[in-house]
Amino acid sequence: MMDHNNSDATEDLSKAERRRQRIIQTLMSGSSAAIRDLAEALGVSLMTVHRDLAALEKEGLVRRLRGSVSAEKSLLFESSYNYRSRKSGDEKRRLAQAAASRLEPGNAVIIDDSTTSYHLCDYLPEIAPLTVITNAAPILERLRHVPEIDLISTGGRYHPGYNGYFGANCEKAIRSYHVDVAILSTTTIRGLSLYTPDEIVVRAKQAMMQVARRRFLLADSTKFQFSALNYVAEITDFDLVLLTGEVPPPVLEQLQAARVNFELV
């Protein structure tokens, strides 16, 4: 029999995490926000927002001061990758495993900087030999000693918030290759469009999509809950969309109507 108290507590925690992710995304696109405005945007009480901000402050992500909340860019960026990497770990692993199962020995694969894509490292050694191209520092570190993986770094300027390499040199390097598969994640999906807060990430992802024969998108259900500033691509641009979590039925219906090739894993 299900313990309803535990179920309610899990649901409450999930709602809190979603709110906190949305707060982080808001602050990453601006220097500060009024706490009252955050409460209104989130549709919750001031007390609830203050609890969320207290938790984020403890994580070292935000700073409260006289009715507003701010995040020093360096502080937020240095902490945000670690924060994101801890969330939805089981779902991210399922997505990565499903993507890896579609690869074949000998493939050349390009992988983005997302914390979801990082979990591919658990499964790629079993498929080797492979060529892996990435701008993600954690993937480069994890795979650098794996036999039969020809590991290629895109180079570029290091960005601590994404723990990866970006910029003109990164994009130029990506475009010098032609690969079998590109595996990407995204910050948000609104309708049939992908968005992310930072345009340097947009350019790297778009370059990866351009050089790939097939494109896989990995997305958990939280990707359908937020908005972000910069357009990346259409979900219909992907050959396979792997989803996990409680994806809202209207979203699934919209994907079916658009003839998106998607699977729930």
* Domain boundaries of the chain, sorted by first residue: 4-85, 88-264
Are 4-85 and 88-264 the same fold in CATH? Answer: no
pLDDT of residue 6: 46
Q: What tokens does 209 get?
A: 């999509």
Q: Tell me the C-alpha distance between 204 and 32, whole Å.
A: 27
Give the HSE-up count for residue 10: Cα atoms under 13 Å, Cβ half-sphere. Answer: 7
pTM (predicted TM-score):
0.73
Contact 152, 186 (CB under 8 A): no
Lowest-confidence region among 27-31, 59-63, 245-249, 251-255: 27-31
Q: Tell me the C-alpha distance between 235 and 258, whole Å.
A: 9
- The single residue listed with the structure tokens 């794996």 is 146
Tell me the average pLDDT of the chain.
86
Average pLDDT of span 30-42? 83
Q: Which CATH architecture has domain 88-264?
A: 3-Layer(aba) Sandwich (3.40)
* CA dist 37 → 52, 67, 69, 74, 257 (Å): 14, 10, 10, 24, 36
Q: Which CATH architecture has domain 4-85?
A: Orthogonal Bundle (1.10)
Give the HSE-up count for residue 131: Cα atoms under 13 Å, Cβ half-sphere. Answer: 13
Average pLDDT of span 134-158? 96
Q: What tokens does 180 get?
A: 């079998």
Judged against a pLDDT cut of 90, whether residue 19 lies above it is answered with no
> Which residues in 56-71 are b (16+ Cβ under 10 Å) and which e?
beeeebbbeeeeebbb
Q: Tell me the C-alpha distance between 118 and 255, whole Å.
A: 26
